[in-house]
Amino acid sequence: MRLEPLYQQEKETLDREAQKRGMEIGEEHAQKRFAQKLLSKGMEIEQIAELTLAFPRRDY
């Protein structure tokens, strides 16, 4: 039995999971920047919370 295909399959799975986590982190950073910009423009925190909750995190 050759182990190389199993190692390759595991590596591909780990690569996909890492990419998914990277996308989630990127979305969180974008949402934080958006909230910071709205706050700096004078929007109330409650309004920002309502706005940012209108765009829930996507599951990939």
Residue 59 within any structural domain of the chain:
no
Residue 60 within any structural domain of the chain:
no
The rounded distance, in Å, linking the Cα atoms of 37 and 3 is 51
Residue 8 within any structural domain of the chain:
yes
Query: What total of structural domains would you count in the chain?
Result: 1
Q: In terms of pTM, does the model score above 0.85?
A: no
- Encode pLDDT of 1-49 as tens digits: 677 888 889 999 999 999 988 888 888 888 889 889 989 999 998 888 8
Q: CB count, 10 Å around CB of 31? A: 14
Q: Are 28 and 55 in contact (CB under 8 A)?
A: no
Residue 58 within any structural domain of the chain:
no
- What is the domain range of residue 14? 4-53
**Residue 4: what pLDDT?**
84
Residue 23 within any structural domain of the chain:
yes
